[in-house]
Amino acid sequence: MKIKTPRGTASIAKTRWLAYATASAATALAGSHSTEASIHYSGRLDVPFPPHGDAIHTFSLDQPGDSLFFEHQDFCYQALFNISGIASASFRGYGGQVAYVSRLRYGRNISAGLFIRSFFLGVLAIRGTCVDSNSGPWGSGGGAGYVGFSFNNGAGRQYGWVRVKMPGSPANGFRVVDYAYADPGEPIRAGQTSADEMVPEETDNIVPQEGSLGGLALGAAGLLAWRKSRS
C-alpha cells in the first residue's frame, strides 16, 4: 500500500491560490476599465458639406447599426440630420409636419429636453423654392451649435452631441466638427468629452448656458471652477 504524502495537498493548495490570485487580478483589472471615461469622443473631424451640391456622410457610434447621418441637398438648400440605433434612436428637436433639429448651447444637458423619434430626417436649415426665407434653427445666422441625440443598442439609452458649424450662407453649407456620446445611463453635456473635460469653445455666436457650466467658456479658469463645484 502506498502512503500519500502531503505533497499532493500542497500542490492543490498552491494551484487554488494561483487561481484565486488570477481571478482577483482579473476582477481588479475589469473594475479599473469600468471606472475609466464613460464618454467616447470622436476627436476633431471638420467634415465639410459644401453649400452647392449634394453630400452625404455617416459617422459610426459604438457598433454597426448605430450611426449618425448628415446630408446637404442642393434642392431647397437643405441641411439634414438623422440617427440610427439598433433598438431605437431620436434627436433633440421640435415641430409638426417638419421635424426641426434643435440648436443647443454649449454646456446644455442633452437628456433634458424634447426628443423626436428618427422616423424622418430632421431639418437643420432649409431655403429656396420650399420656403420664402431661410428657415430652421440653424438657418438664422452663422456660427456653431450642438445637435443632441439619443440611441439604444439594446443595453440602454445613450446620449450624445454633435458640433456643427454653419457659415450662414444662403445655401446652408455646413461642417461637422466633432461628436461624443456617453455609455448607457450616463449623462453628457454639449461639448463634454470626458468626466471633467469640455471641448475648447470657439467664436461661434452661441451664448453659453447659464449655471455652473457657463464659466467653461471663459477657459481654464471656468474649467477649474466647474471641477471644484463637482468635488
- The secondary element (H helix, E strand) that includes residue 89 is strand 88-95
Percent of the chain with pLDDT strictly greater than 90: 50
- Given a cut of 90, is residue 83 above it in pLDDT? yes
**Confidence class for position 140, pLDDT limits 50, 70, 90:** low
pLDDT in tens, 176-207: 999 999 999 999 999 999 988 999 886 544 43
CA 80 to chain centre: 17
> Minimal CA–CA distance to 39: which of 154, 164, 147, 199?
199
* Residue 102 grid cell: 434643435
Tell me 54's DSSP state. Answer: -
Conformational region of residue 128, where left means phi above 0, alpha means psi within -120 to 50, and beta covers everything else:
left
pLDDT at site 18 = 42
- Cβ neighbours of 208 (radius 10 Å): 19
**Hey, what's the torsion of the CAs at 107, 113, 114, 119, to 10 degrees?**
50
CA 142 to chain centre: 22
The whole-angstrom separation of Cα 11 and Cα 208 is 65
Q: Are 143 and 168 in contact (CB under 8 A)?
A: yes
Least-confidence region, from 25-34, 104-113, 130-139, 195-204: 25-34
Write down the pTM of the prediction.
0.71
The whole-angstrom separation of Cα 137 and Cα 63 is 30
